[in-house]
Amino acid sequence: MILKVARLGNPVVRQTAREVDPREISSADFQRLLDDMVETMREYDGVGLAAPQVHVPKRVAVLEVTDHPRYPHIERIPLTFLINPVVVPVGEETEEDWEGCLSIPELRGKVPRFKAVRVSALGRQGEKLEFVARNFHARVIQHEVDHLNGMVYLDRMKDLRSLSYLLEWQRYWMDDLTVRGKAKKGKAHVEAPSKGASS
């Protein structure tokens, strides 16, 4: 089922989400929530979605970036479920790049993020996950974990001057980034089809 996405201003977006009891993970209700989150993320062309964005204040996020023929340089991310994720930066290096958010429609802004993070979480069946994510993958995870702490990408921007409406972003910034993305293979500057990534 496609769920309604909470937008900025809805208190649930600013709430700190609570830990999931691991015993809850195998329940039908919880598994349905995971399915619904995936369906919702795909419906709105998101690359990630956190449970508070669908009015559920629990520490759960899903992410996925699939292949797109127009953007062969895009970094793919397999469908991933992160339950109670803990994220620690690997090194101090940060990078600025564009982000969007399904809870803040029609806007894009440049956000600094750690280039690499170590992630510990539980997976869909409650199994332990432990991995290092880099670049765009690390960016999406940091964006989603912020949602679990009541934060949005606007809070992370160094200044708001890059903030652009989608139409203006496509007109003035996207092409430039597409060229840059192609030049630097493996860097995913332009993410979802013509809209940039939202999560």
Ranges of beta strands (E only) in 66-166 are 77-89, 94-101, 104-114, 116-122, 128-134, 164-165
25/64 with CB nearer Zn ion: 64
Mention every residue, 6+ apart, whose C-beta is less than 8 A from residue 27. none
Q: Tell me which residues are annotated as active site.
A: 144
Smallest distance from Zn ion to CB 167, Å: 20
Under a CB-based contact definition with an 8 Å cutoff, are residues 143 and 12 in contact?
Answer: no
Distance (Å, rounded) from C-alpha 61 to C-alpha 53? Answer: 10
Mention every residue, 6+ apart, whose C-beta is less than 8 A from residue 106. 165, 166
Bridging pattern class, strands 77-89 and 116-122:
antiparallel
42/182 with CB nearer Zn ion: 42
112/126 with CB nearer Zn ion: 112
Smallest distance from Zn ion to CB 85, Å: 15
Query: Does 82 help bind Zn ion (rule: CB under 5 A)?
Result: no
Smallest distance from Zn ion to CB 25, Å: 23
Residue from 61, 101, 119, 140 in contact with Zn ion (CB under 5 A) = 101
Q: Where does this chain bind Zn ion (CB under 5 A)?
A: 101, 199
